[in-house]
Amino acid sequence: MFIGARFLIGFGLTFAQTGAAMLVTELSYPSYRAPLTSLYNSLWYSGAIVAAWSTFGSFKLNSSWSWRTPSVLQGIPSVLQLSLLWFGPESPRWLISRGRDAQALHVLAYYHADGDKQDPLVQYEYEEIKAAIDLDKAIAASVGWMSLIKTPGNRKRLTIIVALAWFSQWSGNGLVSYYLNEVFKTIGITSSTTQLLINGVLQIWNLAWAITAASLVERVGRRVLFLCSCTGMLLFFTLQTICSARYAVSGNPSAAHAVIAFIFLFYASYDIAFTPLIVSYTLEILPYPLRAKGYTLFSFFLSLALIFNQYVNPVALRKIGWKYYVSPFLSMQRRNKFLSFPNIDRLLLLAYLRVVLLLHLHNRNKGPQSGGDCRVV
């Protein structure tokens, strides 16, 4: 029953995410639209904080409530959402498309002009939406799923959407997000208390960075945030891999501590772009007639990446340990090429693989010493 409930939650979440993201974009005041849409996805970590710390507080209970407590607490927001959803506003675009112009004007005035329906901004938005919907109706017969690949511009949009969906889950973050305990085991941290404590602190750290980045979207720009994020992720994931390898070779506790530090720094880099921007950027680059279809494809490819993470990562970590970190690195290398790092990413890749090869050969040649440990002098 519990597994079945998890399936239903995941099934329903897809519909909620698709509708919520677009509704936030439509209702946000124009000058705050980008930060608020970016904040929408960033607040994912607020739920992660509740999950992490409720698990930390209940895992020592000697009953089934050790896992029931976090599940119940995570169910409360769903009940609140279902109860309050009926009082939320409808999309102005949807209302106008159904001929309910007066209601659409009321929603726009309420959220953008303190109820003043004659406000110039409200009137401009209202007429703009009407014109866009009239245009959509005129070309509706020619706008379908194939429209996403008909023109060079739409093909580029589709490429960006697929890349964002895949890279947001397959850049090394999936290892920590879903199998942090397995990562800890590779560096000798087996205490459940320590594992859960680090996870709880990490979620607070992530929320702080994601919210900060969401507030800087308009000031700094999307591309700069993406480039800084990818560069930082590449650097810190490389250092995390090297330190993990050093621990596997020498068993040095300092290397294990360094891995933890680089996990935090890696996530700070991830959170400055991929947490706040993957939703807002996807919606921004799509024209309105293709917005729902494009975001649906984004969610589909995101789910494919998640399926891979769920079933492949734990097996690979148990079988080959830190060496599995090379695969997300290759994904990051492809992403950097996509973001116009064609020369430097090749040099970084060669340097990274050289370090991995040297550590592997050193471990192989040195061989195990007494007690089954692999030590270096």
Q: What is the pLDDT of residues 38-58, one digit of tens each?
A: 888 888 898 889 888 988 888
Residue 251 dihedral angles phi and psi, to the nearest 5°? 70, 25
- The pLDDT of residue 157: 87
CA distance 122 to 23: 17
- The pLDDT of residue 207: 94
Local confidence band at 348 (pLDDT 50, 70, 90 cut-offs):
very low
Looking at residues 89-93, what average pLDDT do you find? 88
Please state the length of the chain.
Answer: 377
Tokens encoding 327: 């695969």
Cβ atoms of 58 and 64 closer than 8 Å: no
DSSP string covering 104-155, please?
A: HHHHHHHHHSTT-TT-HHHHHHHHHHHHHHHHHHHHGGG-STTHHHHSHHHH
Cβ count near 363 (within 10 Å): 17
The alpha-helical segments, DSSP class H, found in 140-151 are 147-150
> CA nearest 331: which of 170, 114, 152, 164?
170
> CA nearest 171: which of 309, 50, 76, 295?
309
- Domain membership flag for residue 137: no
**What mean pLDDT, rounded, does the chain reach?**
78
Using the predicted structure, report yes or no on whether residue 209 has a pLDDT greater than 90: yes
Tokens encoding 175: 């290892």
Tokens encoding 62: 């000697």
- The pLDDT of residue 355: 46
Domain of residue 343: give its range.
Answer: 2-42+143-372
What are the pLDDT digits (tens) for 249-307? Answer: 888 888 889 999 999 999 999 999 888 888 888 888 887 778 778 888 888 888 888 87
Cβ atoms of 301 and 184 closer than 8 Å: no
- The pLDDT of residue 268: 94
- The pLDDT of residue 160: 86
Local confidence band at 139 (pLDDT 50, 70, 90 cut-offs):
low
Using the predicted structure, report yes or no on whether residue 356 has a pLDDT greater than 70: no
Q: Between 288 and 142, whose confidence is greater?
A: 288
Among 80-94, 152-166, 355-369, the minimum mean pLDDT is found in: 355-369
Using the predicted structure, report yes or no on whether residue 375 has a pLDDT greater than 70: no
Using the predicted structure, report yes or no on whether residue 345 has a pLDDT greater than 80: no
CA distance 39 to 240: 28
Using the predicted structure, report yes or no on whether residue 327 has a pLDDT greater than 60: no
What are the pLDDT digits (tens) for 159-187? Answer: 888 888 888 887 777 777 667 777 888 88
> CA nearest 282: which of 89, 34, 47?
34
- Domain membership flag for residue 68: no
Q: Which stretches does DSSP call E strand in 204-254?
A: none
- Domain membership flag for residue 253: yes
- Domain membership flag for residue 305: yes
- The pLDDT of residue 340: 44
Looking at residues 66-73, what average pLDDT do you find? 84
3-state secondary structure of 91: coil
Q: What share of the chain is helix, strand, coil (3-state, %, to 5)?
A: 85, 0, 15
CA distance 372 to 377: 16
Q: Which stretches does DSSP call E strand in 236-291?
A: none
Local confidence band at 323 (pLDDT 50, 70, 90 cut-offs):
low
Q: How far is CA 364 from CA 70, 188, 322, 360, 369, in A?
A: 44, 20, 15, 6, 12
Say how far residue 331 (Cα) sits from the centre of its chain.
15
Nearby residues of 322 by Cβ (< 8 Å), 6 or more positions away: 186, 241, 244, 245, 247, 248
- The pLDDT of residue 36: 87
> CA nearest 354: which of 234, 242, 243, 187?
242
- Domain membership flag for residue 127: no
3-state secondary structure of 66: helix
CATH code of the domain in which 12 resides: 1.20.1250.20
Q: Tell me the percentage of the chain whose pLDDT exceeds 70.
A: 77
Cβ atoms of 168 and 277 closer than 8 Å: no
Say how far residue 375 (Cα) sits from the centre of its chain.
38
Question: What is the number of structural domains in the chain?
Answer: 1
- Domain membership flag for residue 121: no
- Domain membership flag for residue 87: no
- Domain membership flag for residue 182: yes
